[in-house]
Each structure stands twice: as C-alpha cells, then as structure tokens.
Chain A
C-alpha cells in the first residue's frame, strides 16, 4: 500500500469553494471584478515610422489596481501591440500570438510582417466570438513599410493612419482629429501621441498615471517607458517620507524547519536526471 503525504490532485474543477462563495454573495459581499485596463491606447503612422502610446492605469472596478502597468506588448522585434480591455485577455492573447510569430520566423527565416500578426490575432478573437475581451492597436514596420491596425474583441479589424482604443479613445481621438496631418516626423508624432494620451489621462476616469511611448522604425524599435510622468506621488514634506531612526533589533531566534516538519521518503521511483 502506498502511503502518500501529498494529495493526488482530483481530476477536473473542484467545486468546494462554490458553496462558500454563494453564501458570501447572499450575505452581501461583492465578488472581485476582473482587472480591466480602463485605458487610452493610440497609434499614429508617421512618415517612415509608427508611434504607439498608452497610459499606465489598471483598474479593478473603481479601484486603481496598478498605477504603472505596461500596456504595450511585444509581438516581434519590429511589431508591438497596445492592449485595452480585460488585462488577462490582452496579456494572454498577445503572448500567444507572439509565440506563434516566433515559431513562424524560425520556420520561414524572415522578419515577421504586421499583417501576419493581424491575421493571427483576428482569427483567434473571432473564434472566441468576443468573449476574449481584448481591443488592440497593432503597429509595426516590416519590409512592406509602416502599418497600423485596430483589432476589436469580435475579430474585426481596421487599417488606419491614426487610431485610438479604450475608454479614453474619444478624448484621444479628439486630439488626433484636430491635429493629425499626413507625413509627420518622428518627433511630431511622439508629441502628438503624448498629447493624445494626456487627453485620455486627464479627461477619462479609466485612464491615468503615466505615458508610455514606443517608436518603431525600419530596423529600430525604441520603447520609452514612462516617457512622461505628469502624475507624481506628492508628499507633505519636500524631503519625502523617511524614517527618522533605524528599527532596533531586540532579540534574534532562528529555528531550522527540520525540527518542526517530518520529512518522509515516499515509496516509488526517484526522479531521474
């Protein structure tokens, strides 16, 4: 008879906690919401580069869960993707397609193209009929030139010279519609994107904190993390928050865990190297 100290995991979903959750909900406790990126994400095509921008606030309901999260994901060395919607969905879908793109690069021996990433993303999202809540702004530069696309949770895509997504998209689009012109230079593009994201940060409750920028040019990708930080943490005193004296150590006692826990050798095969 095998004696085991560890439980063999039961096959399938364990419903043990469901009755507890039901009881708590009946008592009035609201279940935690999904972590959403309220978000303002934008992209702009400049003369020979693509500039992507994003804010850095992640919300869980009305609480700011992460004040400085990264919404610009890597798809390929020359392709990046901003994600709005459920944070887990945007992370998962971009990681998944990024892996597929890498395998494709090994297979073909060529640099990835933006339309490849686009097709992989749109097929994935369409298959899940909108339940994968990821709204993406995909931008990159490949052999065929600079490209910018938006991808909606249901799998439809648009190809545009400038694009905004997320709850702050209307605020950012207002900036773009009044100031976008064809043939912007890299610096003009970065300024326009910064302005658009700031518009989202200050006018949309779901967006906030800092501005992340990414400039993609032929052969070069620059990720400007926290390019602008217009919302610094303020302290009452200008010196900031410091402890006036070190915490005294009064007493040290070290108990090795071996004395508290019995380590038993389980019968069976040892792990092979």
Chain B
C-alpha cells in the first residue's frame, strides 16, 4: 500500500489540463485550468499553466510538466537573445516557430502540447497551436490538453469571428469550466491572460465563482469558506 503511494507521488508530473487560446478583435485571450496531477493525486491544485515568454508573448503548457517547463525556459532564453539582436520586440510567429523547432526536433523525447499566443505590431493578435508531434498551426482559436476533447463541439457552435474582449473572455471561462466539469484531470481555478496593444492583463476565477452545469451542486462547507472567513483576498498568482 505504501509502495503504491510512493510510486504515485513521485510519478512524472503531468498536467491533465484544459488549455485554450482565442483571438478577438484587437488581441488574444489565453485560458487554462490549474490542476497538476501525479497519477491520481493532485500535486498542485493552483498551478499557473500560462507562462510568460516575453512582454507580449505568453504560452499555455500541457502534457508533461517537466518537459513543458524546460521547453518554455529554452524558448524564453532564445527569444531574449533574439530580441537583443533584432532590436525590437519579437513577433508571435518567431516565438511559435522556436517552440515548434524544439518540439519537432525532440519529438521522441518530449511529451508536451503548447499553445502560443501574443500580440505584435505587424500581425496583431495571433494564436499558434503546437500539439504533440511538433506541427505548427496558426488558428483563430486553439484548444489543447485532455479536457479539450469535450470542447470541440462547443467551439464549433459558440465560436465567431471578431468578438469583443468581454465576449471572448466569457467564452474562454465558460469553455474551461465546461471541461473542468467533465474531465477528471482538469480542475481548480480558471486563469486567463489577455494580450493586446495596450499590454497584458491577468484574471483569476476561483472554483466557486464558475457557473454550474448539468447535475453539479453548489459547494457547501467548502474549504473556500474557511479561507474567505480569515482573509478576504484570494490567493495571489
């Protein structure tokens, strides 16, 4: 029994995950859940899967936590050098291609799906999806992670071109919460990052503020009550 437990907690850390990136009229919004699991244990219930590469480019990470962290560290380093050499902020296309090169050339050893999103002055807001094999696909919206399976139909119906920032944000939060409701490997809180010409805004939606779906019940006597009682501020990122 204790052998199983040991194997479990030291097992490769994978992010079950639901990650989303959508473009809107003026920028992009990246969204993700916050659950990191090792086997059946939730190792981190408040992880931040949306990582910064530069001031204007962020990525959503899914798959193996170690692999995606290393890839994002390398790409951040390359982009930093590139920015110095170029003399101006890197474009989203360059960032996405750097990720793609690492993912494709190490495809046998890496197990990570990444969504790159950002804003630059040439192309505006762009989303690039880089799934497991190292393909790069520029898309108006991208979904990834184990929870994304439940969102294909939802996006087919709910997605439209040229949404406003508020509409897009609502869409992302709704989508992530739908996936959390159905996917065991996704959960926790919903984090979103909005990137446009004005800059970057981070948002945080704790689990009890998300809409309830079919058969879901309101939380009673949840830990969140204890937290709210002693300190009204939410956990900061």
State whether the Cβ of B170 lies closer than 8 Å to any Cβ in chain A: no
Given known A153-B10, A156-B13, A181-B231, contact A38–B2 (CB-CB < 8 A): yes
**Which of B13, B69, B223 counts the most chain A CB atoms within 10 A?**
B13
Q: Which residues of B contact A160 (CB under 8 A)?
A: 44, 46
A156 and B235 form a contact (CB under 8 A):
no
Inter-chain contacts of A170 with B (CB < 8 A): 5, 9, 41
Known: A156-B65, A156-B66. A206 touches B6 (CB 8 A): yes
Give the complex CA separation of A182 and B231 in angstroms.
Answer: 7
Contact status B5-A167, CB under 8 Å: yes
Give, as a whole number of angstroms, the nearest-CB distance from A159 to chain B.
Answer: 8
Structural contact, A178 and B9, CB atoms closer than 8 A: no
Contact, CB under 8 Å: A135 / B10: yes
Q: Given that A152-B10, A155-B69, A155-B70 are known contacts, is A181 also in contact with B2, CB under 8 Å in the complex?
A: no
Cβ-defined contact, B65 with A167, below 8 A: no
Q: Is B2 a contact of A158 with CB atoms below 8 Å?
A: no
* Residues in A whose Cβ lies below 8 Å from that of B231: 181-183
B43 contacts chain A at the CB level, 8 A cutoff: yes
**CB-contact partner of A166 in B9, B69, B233, under 8 A:** B9
Chain A contacts for B70, CB-based, 8 A: 122, 126, 155
A56 CB within 8 Å of chain B? no
Question: A132-161: contact bitstring with B at CB < 8 Å (1 yes, 0 no)?
Answer: 010100000000000000101111111011
A126–B69 alpha-carbon span in the complex (Å): 10
Measured in the bound complex, the distance between the Cα atoms of B65 and A154 in whole Å is 9
Query: Hey, what's the 0/1 contact readout for B37-48 against A, CB within 8 Å counting as 1?
Result: 010010110110
Tell me if B36 counts as interface (CB < 8 A to partner A). Answer: yes
Binding site secondary structure of chain A: loop
Q: Are A156 and B69 in contact (CB under 8 A)?
A: yes
Q: Which residues of B contact A84 (CB under 8 A)?
A: 10
Give the CA-CA distance A166 to B69 in the complex, in Å. Answer: 22
With A and B bound together, what is the CA distance between A156 and B111 in angstroms?
13
Within the complex, what minimum Cβ distance (angstroms) separates B226 from chain A? 8
Report the separation of the CA atoms of residues A78 and B46 in the bound assembly, to the nearest whole angstrom. 27
Asked if B12 lies at the interface with its beta carbon under 8 angstroms from chain A, I say yes
Given contacts A167-B2, A170-B41, is CB(A177)–CB(B64) below 8 Å?
no
Interface size class of B (residues with CB under 8 A): 20 to 34
| Contact yes or no, A122 B223, CB < 8 A | no
B230 at the interface (CB under 8 A from A): yes
A43 interfacial contact with B, CB 8 Å: no
Closest chain A residue, CB of each to CB of B6: A167
- Residues in B with CB closer than 8 Å to A121 are none
**Interface flag for A205 (CB, 8 Å):** yes
Is B227 among interface residues, defined by CB-CB distance under 8 A?
yes
Q: How far is the CA of A156 from the CA of B2 in the complex (A)?
A: 23
- Binary A-proximity of B1-44 (CB < 8 A = 1, otherwise 0): 11001100110110000000000000000000000101001011
Q: In the complex, A135 Cα to B235 Cα: how many Å?
A: 25
A177 to B5, CA, bound (A): 19
A204 to B2, CA, bound (A): 7
Q: Is the CB of B5 within 8 A of A154?
A: no
Give A125's nearest chain B residue, CB to CB: B66
Does the CB pair B43–A158 fall under 8 Å? yes
On chain A, the residues within 8 Å of B69 by CB distance are 122, 155-157
Interface centre among A85, A150, A154, A166 (most CB of B within 10 A): A154
Determine whether the beta carbon of B9 is less than 8 Å from that of A135.
Answer: yes
Question: A150 CB to closest chain B CB, in angstroms?
Answer: 8
B130 CB to nearest chain A CB (Å): 19
Residues of A within 8 A of B227 (CB): 181
User: Is B2 touching A152 in the complex (CB atoms < 8 A)?
Assistant: no
**Smallest CB–CB gap between A144 and chain B, Å?**
15
CB closest residue in chain A, given B44: A158
Closest CB of chain A to B60's CB: distance in Å?
Answer: 16
- Is the CB–CB distance between A206 and B65 below 8 Å? no
Point out the residues of chain A lying under 8 angstroms from B2, CB to CB: 38, 167, 204-206
The answer to whether B9 touches A154, judged by C-beta atoms less than 8 angstroms apart, is no
Question: Given A85-B10, A170-B41, do A152 and B66 touch, yes or no (CB 8 Å)?
Answer: yes
9 nearest CB pairs, A to B:
A156-B65, A156-B66, A154-B66, A155-B66, A156-B13, A167-B6, A158-B44, A205-B2, A152-B13
| 12 A-B pairs (CB sep. < 8 Å) | A38-B2, A122-B70, A130-B66, A152-B13, A155-B70, A160-B46, A181-B226, A181-B227, A181-B231, A182-B233, A183-B231, A205-B2
A156-B36, A204-B5 provided; 13 other pairs, C-beta below 8 A? A130-B12, A133-B10, A152-B43, A152-B66, A154-B65, A156-B65, A158-B43, A158-B47, A167-B9, A170-B41, A177-B223, A205-B1, A205-B2
